[in-house]
Chains A and B, each alone.
Chain A
Amino acid sequence: MTDSKKTGLSRRGFIKASAAGAGAAVGSGIIGAPMIWAQTIKDVTLNQVGPSYSVIADICEKASVDLGFKIVPQTADSTALMAKVVNQPETIDIADLEFWAMQKVWRSGQLQPVEVAKIAKWGDITPVMKDGKNFDGSPQSMQGTTPVKVMYTGGPGDTAFSASPTDFATTMPTIYNADTVGIRPDLIGRPVESWGELFNPEFKGKTALVNIPQIGIMDAAMAMEALGELTYGDKGNMTKEEIDTTINRLIELKKAGQFRAFWSTFDESVNLMAGGEVVIQSMWSPAVTAVKSRGTPCVYQGLKEGYRGWGLGMGLMSHLEGIKLEAAYEYLNWYLSGWQGAFIARQGYYSSVPTTAKEQLTANEWGYWYEGKAATEDILDPYGAVMDKAGAVRDGGSFESRMGNVACWNTVMDEERYMVQRWNEFVSA
């Protein structure tokens, strides 16, 4: 409420100022205009809403200082954010949406496309985010929501995605990563190389899956495929039969006591691992770091079948217009200018424009996070705590070997309703 009022005020202020500017311009040419612009943009406040790993207060603060207008961070997990985008669009200005979430919310028409021409660094965005190609030029896995599938749209008002690149992007890609399983090397004591190990009876009662249906079932599918039990047409869009086979197998495993837990939150996954409850499980990368920081050995184990990829983009809400929209574009451009890329690199995520992030990282950091080289000195997180010792190498190696080896992408399936129903059956079995 107050927010829309503020917009109104600033817009009115802008009109007044431009009228004055027009008067001034008669005398002094157009020199006055940028000054007036700078005065009014200061009144802008942008609400950025997204998951905690993307919307970070430190980044918003730094941007507010650099840009001169205020960016207010607000965290909401992806499911809550989707509901907010659809039902309360006016409470958000910029939404940090997972690509799979775009499959659900874009057609609601609550977002406006990002004009590619207004993003200065668009051309520098990595091909894995916008071109559907790996670093060596080979096509990416199209299982699940590959970013390119939801990257482009026909233009303003179009609620469908465009298969080929256009001048209008649905969101501007920001951060992404390749997910795999976390393991306790000290408790396993032998190399782990395949997703199939999740179902290995050796780890009976010591494995866990994430209790987010569409991600948990995909981790299970990676394991099933690795074991040769089922080859999926598309793990990111299973048929009813494939869902049935997968869930039935999961129920069988559950009844045999294979799983210790199904976790829902970050801290649950950390505690399961750190407390020795599980030795192998689905995990997010910062959770592995959190376990390590407690002095417990934990590896984010790259597996031969490949990674499960995910990524986010910043979406502009439809109600943005005028000076507020201009401010939003300025913020988007700032986002790709390097500071944010370096910040999230230190948390283990990749920036959509690695070249600018590189400028803001030390050679040691760049080598560790992006090139898979051994750290020459201690690696610090964004807040200065030691994450890894000198000599350590990032799990899974370089940016290209990790992001270039994504087997499937986080997604929503056509048969989602059925899948969620069966997942509930699995959890209650």
Chain B
Amino acid sequence: MSRSSGRSSPLTPYLQVAPLALIMLAMVGIPLITVLLLSFWQSDGISIYPEFTWANYQQVLTSPVTLTLFLNTLKYAGLTLIATLLIGFTCSYFLVFHVRNLKWQIGLFLLCTIPFWTSNVIRMVSWIPFLGREGVFNQALISAGVIDQPLDILLYSDFAVVLTYIHLFTLFMIVPIFNSMAKINPNLIEAARDAGASGWQILWTVIVPLSRTGIALGAIFVVTLVMGDFFVVRVMSGGQSASVVSAMKNQIDQLFYPEAAAMAVLLIVVVLLMVSAILRIVDIRSELAK
């Protein structure tokens, strides 16, 4: 790119990448290897013996619970993905194509981030008094005469879990989509319109394809966040549902580390497959380089 790179030694790129590589190796590589090793070791509920065994994987892979847990977690991930995508895309579309004034655009964008000024936990827990049996929403519906019995499904249910995920993670969808959309050259849209495309055609054949990098990035964020969560599931389902990680947490609490490790490895494999599937559809790297 520049002349200086021509003069530098062939070692330069390696040195440049070394700090990050070392940090990644120490902070990600070593723990991962530990988890992998642990998943092949034996334990008796307190001590861990470094003796090779397939038992942990055998237990995880043959237990019907594992499938239920993964299906349940995938269901949450899927529902959250669809909802955050619809909301994220709509918000970004509005911000980019309807709000023409840059100041307003920035202002409204900041508005989207306001919920992030407080912690995840507070944002999550604040739903509880709102949705509860004697909560604000039920009280309002009852006093409005819409229902005469409080709706139990609002809290401690799958509905509550997915709702919270959507609330927590939509911004992770808005930001990358907004970013991709903002890069779309307005001339392209005008050209499409001149060529006689309808609003839907423009949306579907111009905007969506050009926003797909953002959509893919957002999807990766949302999917990995949901797949790795246990706290939201535990609190918002009132402990009535389990995710892969919440089951892992139960095992860790009872000091069954190797089993939890085997489950963790399985989860990593599944998430990696999902991410690589997303990357297969959209080549983020080449798109970002544009």
Contact = CB atoms under 8 A, between A and B. Distances in A.
- Binding between chains A and B: yes
Interface of A: 79, 82-83, 86, 104-105, 107-108, 205, 208, 211-214, 254, 259-264, 268, 271-272, 275-277, 412, 416-417, 420-421, 423-425, 427-429
B253 A79 contact: yes
Contacts of B46: 82, 86, 104-105, 107-108
14 contacts: A79-B252, A104-B45, A104-B46, A107-B46, A259-B240, A261-B238, A263-B238, A264-B239, A268-B235, A275-B132, A423-B250, A424-B250, A425-B63, A427-B246
Interface string B22-48: 000000000000000000000001110
Given A254-B240, A264-B234, A86 B47 contact: yes
Residue among B134, B238, B247, B251 with most chain A CB within 10 A: B238
A121 B230 CA distance: 46
B21 to A, nearest CB: 28
B65 A421 contact: yes
B251 A427 contact: no
Contacts of A108: 46-47
Contacts of A428: 65, 68-69, 72, 241-242, 247
Interface in B201-260: 234-235, 238-242, 246-247, 250-256, 259
A425 to B, nearest CB: 4
B47 to A, nearest CB: 6
B172 interface: no
B128 interface: yes
Nearest to A277: B133
B256 A420 contact: yes
Nearest to B46: A104
A264 B235 CA distance: 8
Nearest to A105: B46
A277 B132 CA distance: 7
A286 to B, nearest CB: 20
Nearest 8 pairs of A and B residues by beta carbon? A261-B238, A262-B239, A428-B242, A79-B253, A211-B239, A425-B65, A424-B247, A427-B242
B156 interface: yes
Nearest to B43: A417
Given A82-B255, A420-B254, A425 B64 contact: yes
B152 interface: yes
Contacts of B235: 268
Contact of B156 (A83, A261, A421): A261
B59 interface: yes
A427 B241 contact: yes
Given A104-B45, A104-B255, A428-B69, A260 B238 contact: yes
B128 A424 contact: no
Contacts of B250: 213, 420, 423-424, 427
A264 B240 CA distance: 11
Contacts of A213: 250, 254
Interface string B93-133: 00000000000000000000000000000000000110011
Contacts of B156: 260-261, 277
Contacts of B133: 275-277
A79 B250 CA distance: 10
A412 B68 CA distance: 26
B109 to A, nearest CB: 35
Interface in B126-145: 128-129, 132-135
A417 B239 contact: no
Given A277-B132, A417-B254, 8 more contacts: A104-B45, A268-B238, A271-B128, A277-B133, A277-B134, A424-B65, A428-B69, A428-B241
